[in-house]
Structure 1
Amino acid sequence: MKSNRYIMILFFIVTLLNSSCSDTFVDDIDLKFCGKCAHTGRWTVDSLDFNPCFSTQAECLDWAKKNGYSDRGCVLCN
Protein backbone atom coordinates (compact mmCIF):
# COMPACT_ATOMS: atom_id res chain seq x y z
CA MET A 1 0.00 0.00 0.00
CA LYS A 2 2.87 2.39 0.76
CA SER A 3 4.40 1.87 -2.67
CA ASN A 4 1.14 2.92 -4.35
CA ARG A 5 1.13 6.09 -2.28
CA TYR A 6 4.71 6.92 -3.31
CA ILE A 7 3.88 6.27 -6.96
CA MET A 8 0.91 8.63 -6.75
CA ILE A 9 2.96 11.35 -5.05
CA LEU A 10 5.69 10.99 -7.67
CA PHE A 11 3.09 11.14 -10.45
CA PHE A 12 1.64 14.41 -9.08
CA ILE A 13 5.08 15.97 -8.67
CA VAL A 14 6.11 15.09 -12.24
CA THR A 15 2.79 16.35 -13.59
CA LEU A 16 3.17 19.63 -11.71
CA LEU A 17 6.72 20.15 -12.96
CA ASN A 18 5.78 19.34 -16.56
CA SER A 19 2.92 21.80 -16.56
CA SER A 20 4.85 24.62 -14.87
CA CYS A 21 7.98 24.48 -17.05
CA SER A 22 7.64 25.62 -20.61
CA ASP A 23 10.04 26.27 -23.47
CA THR A 24 9.40 30.01 -23.30
CA PHE A 25 10.83 30.07 -19.78
CA VAL A 26 13.96 28.25 -20.94
CA ASP A 27 14.32 30.56 -23.97
CA ASP A 28 14.30 33.60 -21.67
CA ILE A 29 17.37 32.42 -19.78
CA ASP A 30 20.46 34.20 -21.10
CA LEU A 31 23.49 32.19 -20.10
CA LYS A 32 26.86 33.85 -20.35
CA PHE A 33 30.04 32.05 -19.50
CA CYS A 34 32.36 34.87 -18.45
CA GLY A 35 34.67 33.04 -16.03
CA LYS A 36 37.42 35.36 -14.82
CA CYS A 37 36.03 38.20 -16.97
CA ALA A 38 32.76 38.36 -15.01
CA HIS A 39 31.77 41.87 -13.88
CA THR A 40 34.79 43.46 -15.61
CA GLY A 41 33.00 45.09 -18.53
CA ARG A 42 35.31 43.26 -20.92
CA TRP A 43 34.64 40.80 -23.76
CA THR A 44 35.29 37.05 -23.81
CA VAL A 45 34.45 34.10 -26.04
CA ASP A 46 31.10 32.53 -25.14
CA SER A 47 32.49 29.17 -24.05
CA LEU A 48 32.94 27.10 -20.90
CA ASP A 49 36.72 27.25 -21.42
CA PHE A 50 38.69 29.86 -19.52
CA ASN A 51 39.48 32.28 -22.34
CA PRO A 52 41.23 35.65 -21.98
CA CYS A 53 39.39 38.96 -21.60
CA PHE A 54 39.43 41.62 -24.32
CA SER A 55 38.77 45.36 -24.39
CA THR A 56 36.79 45.29 -27.63
CA GLN A 57 34.49 42.85 -29.37
CA ALA A 58 36.67 43.00 -32.50
CA GLU A 59 39.73 41.81 -30.54
CA CYS A 60 37.68 39.01 -29.02
CA LEU A 61 36.28 37.85 -32.37
CA ASP A 62 39.75 37.97 -33.95
CA TRP A 63 41.21 35.83 -31.15
CA ALA A 64 38.30 33.39 -31.37
CA LYS A 65 38.79 32.99 -35.10
CA LYS A 66 42.55 32.36 -34.72
CA ASN A 67 42.16 29.88 -31.84
CA GLY A 68 39.46 27.53 -33.11
CA TYR A 69 36.38 29.22 -31.70
CA SER A 70 35.08 30.59 -35.01
CA ASP A 71 31.65 29.05 -34.33
CA ARG A 72 31.34 30.96 -31.05
CA GLY A 73 30.41 34.57 -30.45
CA CYS A 74 31.78 36.98 -27.89
CA VAL A 75 29.87 38.24 -24.86
CA LEU A 76 30.21 41.42 -22.86
CA CYS A 77 30.69 40.52 -19.20
CA ASN A 78 29.01 43.19 -17.08
Structure 2
Amino acid sequence: MVIDTATSLRLLELHYLPEPPTHTNKQASVLRWAAAGKSNGDIAEITGLTRRNCECYRGEIFRKLGVATRGQVQSPMSAASREK
Protein backbone atom coordinates (compact mmCIF):
# COMPACT_ATOMS: atom_id res chain seq x y z
CA MET A 1 0.00 0.00 0.00
CA VAL A 2 1.32 3.43 -0.94
CA ILE A 3 1.00 6.21 1.64
CA ASP A 4 1.43 9.92 1.11
CA THR A 5 4.29 12.02 2.45
CA ALA A 6 2.24 13.62 5.23
CA THR A 7 1.16 10.21 6.51
CA SER A 8 4.74 8.92 6.35
CA LEU A 9 5.97 11.89 8.37
CA ARG A 10 3.18 11.45 10.92
CA LEU A 11 4.10 7.77 11.33
CA LEU A 12 7.70 8.77 12.01
CA GLU A 13 6.55 11.33 14.58
CA LEU A 14 4.38 8.75 16.31
CA HIS A 15 7.20 6.21 16.29
CA TYR A 16 9.48 8.59 18.18
CA LEU A 17 6.95 9.72 20.78
CA PRO A 18 8.04 8.89 24.35
CA GLU A 19 4.80 6.95 24.77
CA PRO A 20 2.69 5.87 21.80
CA PRO A 21 -1.00 6.80 21.90
CA THR A 22 -3.13 4.31 23.79
CA HIS A 23 -6.69 3.34 22.97
CA THR A 24 -9.53 1.99 25.06
CA ASN A 25 -10.77 -1.52 24.25
CA LYS A 26 -13.72 -0.09 22.32
CA GLN A 27 -11.49 2.34 20.42
CA ALA A 28 -9.15 -0.54 19.58
CA SER A 29 -12.10 -2.57 18.30
CA VAL A 30 -13.28 0.32 16.11
CA LEU A 31 -9.69 0.80 14.93
CA ARG A 32 -9.31 -2.86 13.92
CA TRP A 33 -12.60 -2.93 11.99
CA ALA A 34 -11.87 0.41 10.30
CA ALA A 35 -8.44 -0.95 9.29
CA ALA A 36 -10.30 -3.85 7.68
CA GLY A 37 -12.15 -1.29 5.55
CA LYS A 38 -15.51 -1.39 7.35
CA SER A 39 -17.78 1.67 7.35
CA ASN A 40 -19.06 3.26 10.56
CA GLY A 41 -22.44 1.59 9.95
CA ASP A 42 -20.80 -1.82 9.51
CA ILE A 43 -18.66 -1.33 12.62
CA ALA A 44 -21.74 -0.31 14.63
CA GLU A 45 -23.58 -3.46 13.57
CA ILE A 46 -20.60 -5.73 14.26
CA THR A 47 -19.73 -4.27 17.67
CA GLY A 48 -23.23 -3.53 18.91
CA LEU A 49 -22.44 0.18 19.24
CA THR A 50 -24.52 2.96 17.73
CA ARG A 51 -23.27 4.56 14.54
CA ARG A 52 -22.82 7.81 16.48
CA ASN A 53 -20.65 6.06 19.10
CA CYS A 54 -18.48 4.65 16.31
CA GLU A 55 -18.08 8.15 14.88
CA CYS A 56 -17.10 9.48 18.33
CA TYR A 57 -14.57 6.70 18.88
CA ARG A 58 -13.17 7.31 15.41
CA GLY A 59 -12.85 11.02 16.23
CA GLU A 60 -10.93 10.23 19.41
CA ILE A 61 -8.64 7.87 17.48
CA PHE A 62 -8.00 10.57 14.86
CA ARG A 63 -7.24 13.10 17.61
CA LYS A 64 -4.78 10.74 19.30
CA LEU A 65 -3.05 9.94 16.01
CA GLY A 66 -3.03 13.60 14.95
CA VAL A 67 -4.81 13.07 11.63
CA ALA A 68 -7.89 14.66 10.12
CA THR A 69 -9.21 12.17 7.56
CA ARG A 70 -9.78 8.42 7.20
CA GLY A 71 -7.35 8.45 4.26
CA GLN A 72 -4.55 9.74 6.47
CA VAL A 73 -5.17 7.11 9.11
CA GLN A 74 -5.87 4.06 6.91
CA SER A 75 -2.26 2.91 6.59
CA PRO A 76 -1.28 3.57 10.22
CA MET A 77 -4.42 1.72 11.34
CA SER A 78 -3.51 -1.26 9.18
CA ALA A 79 -0.05 -1.30 10.68
CA ALA A 80 -1.43 -0.98 14.22
CA SER A 81 -3.86 -3.83 13.72
CA ARG A 82 -1.07 -6.12 12.45
CA GLU A 83 1.07 -5.42 15.54
CA LYS A 84 -1.52 -6.94 17.90
TM bucket, shorter chain? under 0.3
Output the TM-score relative to the length of structure 1. Answer: 0.26
Q: Which has the larger strand fraction?
A: 1
Larger Rg, first or second structure (1 or 2): 1
**Relative contact order (C-alpha < 8 Å, sep 6+): which is higher?**
2
Q: Which has the larger helix fraction?
A: 2
